[in-house]
Amino acid sequence: MPSGELVDSAPRLTRKGQATRERILAASARLMFEHGVAGTSTEDVQAAAGVSTSQIYHYFGDKRMLVRAVIAYQTEAVLGVQQPLLSRLDSLDALGAWRDFVVELQRKHGCAGGCPIGSLGSELADSDPEARAEVAAGFARWEQAIRDGLRAMHSRGELRAEVDPDVLALATLAALQGGLLLTQIRRDTRALEAALDTVIDHIGSLTS
């Protein structure tokens, strides 16, 4: 097998094979979230998932490809849990409900871990260009969901004509990520609340 080639055989897997692959991926995501990519060895994944090293290489090729699969897994998990709210961020009330959901999720997790996508990005951005691109693509999807809602408000005339909803979307995502990082470090949600409240209040000040 060529080095760095991901074994993309999921459509041909048996039900048992698919379950094994998912178990490896879920265990890897949990370990990398808790200990970082560098702090997670294939032996750690093997023990946590209850599989052999050869099974890990069979389904994912090598650790770099496993990491890329984890990035995709975490992106789907993070955006998936928010999707009911992200799909309709087209009002101040909807933005507020999303803010409350994100804050409550951090409280539920004890303010530990930060953003699963952001944590991977901060560790890999300067060492793995392909992984950085995968993380950037995940953030782009998150930003697009915010942008879609703000563009809808703008097109309905609820935001002033001179407002750039794309800039607001980027600022909102930046506020979110900064707030999540400080929440992780401080172990309380005040920074996240302040960041999101400030940007949503600013959006409110731009309404027609």
Specify the 3-state DSSP secondary structure of 25: helix
The pLDDT of residue 1 = 38
Give 159's strand partners.
207
The confidence score (pLDDT) of residue 96 equals: 98
| pLDDT for the residue 10 | 44
CATH number, span 1-61: 1.10.10.60
Looking at residue 16, what is its pLDDT? Answer: 87
Quote the pLDDT of residue 5: 38
Per the DSSP assignment, residues forming a β-bridge with 207 are 159
The count of C-alpha atoms lying within 13 angstroms of the C-alpha of 77, restricted to the half-sphere facing its C-beta, is 15
List, for residues 105-145, the tens digit of each pLDDT value: 999 999 999 999 999 999 999 999 999 999 999 999 999 99
Per-residue pLDDT at 17: 84
- 162-178: per-residue pLDDT in tens? 999 999 999 999 999 99
pLDDT at residue 9 greater than cutoff 80:
no
Q: Class for domain 71-205, per CATH?
A: mainly alpha
pLDDT at 12: 74
pLDDT at site 13? 72
pLDDT digits (tens, 9 = 90+) for 62-98: 999 999 999 999 999 999 999 999 999 999 999 999 9
Instruction: Give me the pLDDT at residue 22, please.
Output: 95
Better-predicted residue by pLDDT, 179 or 8: 179
pLDDT at 139: 97
User: Model-level pTM greater than 0.75?
Assistant: yes
Q: How far is CA 133 from CA 26, 93, 190, in A?
A: 21, 33, 31
Q: Is the pLDDT of residue 6 over 60?
A: no
Start-end of CATH 1.10.10.60 domains in the chain:
1-61
Residue 84: other Cβ atoms inside 10 A: 11
pLDDT of 45: 96
Angle at 84 between CA 113 and CA 75, to 5 degrees: 40
Which ranges in the chain are annotated with CATH 1.10.357.10? 71-205
Instruction: Kindly tell me if the per-residue pLDDT of 8 is higher than 70.
Output: no
User: What's residue 42's pLDDT?
Assistant: 93
Average pLDDT, the chain: 93
